[in-house]
Amino acid sequence: MSFVTEFFKAVTDILATSGYPAITLGNIIMVCVSFLLVYLAINKGFEPLLLLPIAFGMFVVNLPLTGLMNPPQGGATGGLFYYLFQGVQFEIFPPLIFLGVGAMTDFGPLIARPSCLLLGAGAQFGVYFAFICALLLGFTPQEAASIGIIGGADGPTSIFLASKLAPHMLGPIAVAAYSYMALVPLIQPPIMRLMTTKKERMIKMDQMREVSKFERIAFALVVTIIVALLLPPIASLIAMLMLGNVFKESGVVQRLSGTAENELINIVTIFLGLTVGATASADIFLRPETLKLIALGLVAFAFSTFGGLLIAKIMNVAYGGKINPLIGSAGVSAVPMAARVSQVIGQRENPANYLLMHAMGPNVAGVIGTAVAAGVLLTLFGH
């Protein structure tokens, strides 16, 4: 009998010190949310490269007593995710992501048609609109700026800005930013059809000119000079974006370019996704402010799409009906998904329509535009 008693006592002690008694309703809700994100990433293919690690980070951090995000205390080491999170805290991961993005990006369509910068700028309208709405709802300027940048549909930039201005909202902002990026094919088409006529959607654009290697490299260097000097707080993002692009366009460092756009960005994506998801604990995520944040993020994204389409319609008039307004929706920073949506909608109306490369111009302009918008907000409210 003593053995049985001791056995049950040991089992009871293990259960008493385990995480099971500590599970709260909030933990259960957040675990269910993480499972939903896993489903969307795997079954629906919504930005799986980042949504899946974010979802898993959210899942495991909401299992009580794991201590994965615990800081070091009393001589004891901190949790694994705490140390990985320093890559976000010290602005390392987002610029490294930009390095990989730069190595994968073709700025040729933007160089061939510089007016696409207007579309990238127009698509930032939602950022400032949501910023004003957030202020009216009682958020601080720093929180409002971090929420507004979701409209740019650029996850790394959203994380970069939130980590500086509103670190306590980093988890919800990252999840909202990447969720809306993933939902581009669902959110944008209704707005595109509402904002354009069938005749406009059928416009077939002329082929763009060939862009030389010199122009491509000069563009990267000139943009770095202009933006880094104008907005020093985002110099790391722009510099790494353009460094990656110079690797790609130079043609002499294929190993570096290949590493930046493959191994490096993949490793950083795992660490970034896990640690950002791990900030979405129940006590932070399940607040009324979070629901407002998610709603404002959708407003920001919708109005950014609206702004890009509006500028494209104006450009179409200015260019004598030669610009298909659908490419304006690609002014958000979701590369290349937003450009693909412009292509799909355009081909539905006119099977001979090939808008992908035309839409890539405003799409990559949106990457620069969102970084600039973040720099403006950081300059104004980062003190």
pLDDT digits (tens, 9 = 90+) for 189-199: 999 999 999 99
Burial code of 148-160, b = ≥16 C-beta within 10 A, e = fewer?
bbbbbbbbbbbbb
Q: How far apart are CA 377 and CA 109, in angstroms?
A: 28
Host H or E run for residue 272: helix 265-278
What amino acid occupies position 175? V
Would you say the C-alpha torsion 355, 124, 157, 155 has a positive or negative sign?
Answer: negative
The predicted model scores a pTM of: 0.91
Decide if pLDDT at 243 tops 60. yes
Mean pLDDT, residues 40-66: 90
- Least Cα distance to 102 among 1, 207, 322, 253 occurs for 253
Would the pLDDT of 6 be above 90?
no
- State the pLDDT at residue 1: 53
Number of Cβ atoms within 10 Å of the Cβ of 320? 7
CB 305 within 8 A of CB 345: no
Percent of the chain with pLDDT over 90: 74
- What's the pLDDT tens digit per position in 219-237? 999 999 999 999 999 999 9
- For residue 8 the two structure tokens come to 């049950």
